[in-house]
Amino acid sequence: MKALAAAALALSFAAPLAAQGDLAMPGKERVILHTNMGDIALAFFPKAAPKHVEQILKLMRLGVYNGVNFHRVEPNFVIQIANAESRSVPMTPAQAAAIKPLKAEFNAIKHAPGILSMARYDNQPDSATTSFSILLTNAPHLDNQYTVFGRVEAGWDVVEAIRSTPRDSSNQPLRRVEVMYAEVLPSAEELAKRPLIRAAPQAPVQQEAARPGPAGAPSQAVAAVLLVMMALGLGVFWAAARYPGKPVASLGLLTVLVGFFGLFVHMAPAANTQENLAIALFIGLLSLFKLMNRFESPV
């Protein structure tokens, strides 16, 4: 199935791109967009849009695209990355200063599936800054109106997954789809060495999506071991009243801290769907902080 999709993608490129000769020749660099739905690899056309390619690569190296979301998903048209100003983490002064409007570099490359096309304001051809679209279909009405500057090299399954993500009436995804970070690679060979994260099967929006942390239900055995570790630490701490000096009690507290952190990493992803577990973890955290006040203090 994936091979068919890849072949279809290649064919959909081949005809129009053959007609565009050198312009559509990809440059050296490749970029991996590490999104929260998988990895998408991009290639650029420096001969078709040299200023656009130079600027986009510069911004990606600066980390401007880290945290930017796909704010628009139209399954029969495009998926679009928002302007960097709307990203989840505000930019540093250096990042903000690097963003400049780009003069249009319209070229003969057709708008076809997989093409990267720079977004701009209507009636302002030179207003493009950071937002761009990934075309999902042919869009001849955009030819010579918007700057084509690259294409999707790999990760089309992730593009399809984003295309299929549930969205609201204004074509905004219901669950935030975001570029966690954009990684610039020096060559296609380097990209070939990197395993890309494939699109994960999507859970319905009403249920929990994949959360950071160990996938699946927490292993009861691991949780039990960590609980025993914490109990041991607490026991040592309380028993240390019998012994002079602070080290024994403090070692007990460190055991509690390590055990609790392990438990936290293991259990917190499941806490989203189990209120009692969430409450227990929250109280556990507050108790841990209070207990750590006694670190290297007399019992």
Partner 1 sequence: MRADRRLSKTSIPIARSRSPDSIFDYPCLDGTLDSPYNWRELPVEEDVISKHKDGHGQNHPPAQPPLYFINAPIDFLLIGGASIIAFFLFKQFHSGVRDQNVINWGIYLMWAVNWPHFSATNYRLYHSKANIAQYPMTALLVPVLLTGALIGSLWSPEHIAPFLVKLFLIWSPYHFSGQSVGITMIYAKRAGFMIGKLERLALSGFIFGTFIAPTAIGETGRNTNYYFGVQYPTLGLPMWVGESAKVMMYCSGALFLLLVLNWCMKNKRLPPLMLLLPAATQYVWFVAGASVAGFREFVPFFHSLQYMLIAWSMQLKEKMDEGQIQPSKWYVLMESLRWGGANALGGAGLFWALPRLAAKYFSVPLNIAEPVVISVVQIHHFFVDGVIWKLRSPKVASPLLVNIEQMIGAPQQRPPAIVPGIKPA
**Chain positions contacting partner 1, by CB under 8 A:** 36, 63, 66-67, 88-93, 96, 176, 180-181, 183, 208, 211-214, 246-247, 250-251, 254, 257-258, 261, 264-265, 268-269, 271-275, 278-279, 281-282, 285-286, 289, 292-293, 295-298
Q: Which residue, 78 or 256, is less far from partner 1 as judged by CB?
A: 256
Q: Which residue, 2 or 289, is less far from partner 1 as judged by CB?
A: 289
CB of 263 to partner 1, least distance (A): 10
Q: Which residue, 65 or 146, is less far from partner 1 as judged by CB?
A: 65
**Cα separation values, 228 from 238, 248, 249, 286, Å:** 15, 18, 17, 19
Q: Which residue, 9 or 253, is less far from partner 1 as judged by CB?
A: 253
CB of 296 to partner 1, least distance (A): 5
Q: Which residue, 73 or 99, is less far from partner 1 as judged by CB?
A: 99
CB of 239 to partner 1, least distance (A): 17
CB of 269 to partner 1, least distance (A): 7
Q: Which residue, 42 or 112, is less far from partner 1 as judged by CB?
A: 42
CB of 91 to partner 1, least distance (A): 8
CB of 213 to partner 1, least distance (A): 6
